[in-house]
Amino acid sequence: MTGDRAAIDAGELAALQVRARRVRSHVIRMATRGGCFLGASLSCTDLLVYLYGRALRVSPARVADPDRDYLFLSKGHDVPALYGTLVEHGYFPAARLGKHLSVEDHLYWHPNRALPGIEFHSGSLGHLLSVAIGVALDVKLRGGPSRVFVVVGDGELNEGSMWEAMLVASARKLDNLVMVVDRNRFQANMATEDLLPLEPLAEKLRAFGLAAIEVDGHDFAALDAAFAELPRPGRPSAIIARTVRNKGLPSLEGRAERWFVDLSAHEVEQLVAELEGGVRAEISSPVKVVR
C-alpha cells in the first residue's frame, strides 16, 4: 500500500513511537471519571498511529475530500485511541479530550461523526465492514483513488454479519478495501479461543476470499512491510495484527479482567509513569464488569 515509498527509516520509526506513547498517555487519562475501554484502546493504538502516520492519505484539511482514504473504526469501544491519534494529527485540540464523557462535547465510549476526522459512528459490533463496503463500492463505481480501511476487533468476528460482509466484499472484488483485525486475543471477559475459537483465522479469511497477512501489530516496520504487500488485485485484504491487550502497561498487559477500567486520579498518574518507563503501577480500582 505504501507503493513506491521508501521503507520506513529510523527517524520516522522514532517519530511513530513517540506519537504512540503520547496517544497512550491520552488514552490512560481518559480512563478515569467514568472510565473507558482501556484494554482494547491500547491494543490498537499502534495500528491507528501507523495507519494515520504512514498509510492513510487523509489530513485535517481533507476530511471532506471525496478522494481521501477512509478509516472506519468498527469495534468502536477502542475510540480513545482514535481520539488521541486524531489530536496528535491536528484534527481537533487536545483540550477536548478533557471533555471525555461530558455532555458538553461529543467524546464518549463510542465514536460519532460530530468529531472532525471520524467517518461514522459505531459501537454495535459487526456493522462498519458493511458500511465500508458501500463506500468502497462507490469509489469503484466512480473510479476514485480512495482506499477504505476498517479496523475490527477479533471478538467482533463472532458476529455473523462480519462473515456475510466478507462474502460480499469478495464477490464484488473490492481490492480497495482493507480489514485490519486487532488480534489481541481477548473479547470482553475472556480469551477469544476459550469462547468461540477463531483460529486458524488467516485460513478462514483466505477461504472467504480475502488476501490475509499476519503481522506483529506493535512493530511499525513489520506493519509497513505488510501493508506494502497490498493490495492484491481483485481481492479485499485483511491484515491480522497480533496485538496485546493493554499494550504499553506491563502491569495490565494481557489481563482478562482489565478491559473496561475506571481509574482513580492517582492510578492514572501511576500508569502514565509506568508508560514512560517508571515502576509498575499497583492498580486496585474495583474491576468493572460491563458486559
Q: Which of 21, 33, 106, 172 binds other proteins (CB under 8 A)?
A: 172
Contact flag: residue 145 with other proteins (CB under 8 A): no
Minimum CB–partner distance for residue 124 and other proteins (Å) = 5
Structure-block grid coordinates of residue 33: 471519571
Distance CA 51, CA 193 (A): 27
Asked if residue 95 binds other proteins (CB under 8 A), the reply is no
Residue 263: is it exposed, middle or buried by C-beta count within 10 angstroms (0-12/13-18/19+)? buried
135 binds other proteins (CB under 8 A): yes
Give φ, ψ of 184 to 5 degrees.
-90, 0
Q: Is 158 in the site for other proteins (CB under 8 A)?
A: no
Applying CB under 8 A, which of residues 66, 90, 197, 250 lies at the interface with other proteins?
Answer: 66
Determine which residue in the list 15, 101, 115, 137 makes contact with other proteins, applying CB under 8 A.
137
Given candidates 132, 151, 205, 212, which one binds other proteins under the rule CB under 8 A?
A: 132
Give me 291's grid cell. Answer: 458486559
Q: How many CB atoms lie within 10 A of CB 230?
A: 19
C-alpha closest to that of 178 among 117, 111, 223: 223
Binding part of the chain for other proteins, among 36-44, 131-139, 213-221, 273-281 by CB under 8 A, reads 131-139
Shortest Cβ distance from residue 126 to other proteins (Å)?
8
Measured from the CB of residue 100, what is the shortest distance to other proteins in angstroms?
20
Assess 291 for contact with other proteins (CB under 8 A). no
Binding track over 99-128 against other proteins, x by CB under 8 A: --------------x-----xxx--x-xxx
What is the identity of the amino acid at 264?
Answer: S
Q: Residue for cell digits 468461540?
A: 196
Phi, psi (degrees; rounded to nearest 5) at 271: -70, -35
Among 164, 193, 276, 282, binds other proteins (CB under 8 A): 164
C-alpha 27/C-alpha 81 separation (Å) is: 6
Q: CA-to-CA distance for 8 and 213, rounded, in angstroms?
A: 19
Which of 167, 190, 273, 287 contacts other proteins by CB under 8 A?
167
Residue 251 CA, chain-centre distance (Å), reads 22
- In the complex, the smallest distance separating the C-beta of residue 103 from other proteins, rounded to whole angstroms, is 18
Q: How far is the CB of 290 from other proteins (least distance, A)?
A: 19
- Three-state DSSP class for residue 107: coil
Count CA within 13 A, CB hemisphere, residue 116: 18
The residue (of 108 and 285) whose beta carbon lies closer to other proteins is 108
Chain centre to alpha carbon of residue 137: 22
Contact stretch for other proteins (CB under 8 A) within 7-15, 88-96, 98-106, 158-166:
158-166
131 lies in the binding site for other proteins (CB under 8 A): yes
Q: What does the DSSP 8-state code read for residue 32? A: B
Amino acid at 162: M
Query: Can you tell me which of 7, 14, 63, 171 binds other proteins, judged by CB under 8 A?
Result: 171
Which residues form the interface with other proteins (CB under 8 A)? 66, 113, 119-121, 124, 126-139, 141, 161, 164-165, 167-168, 171-172
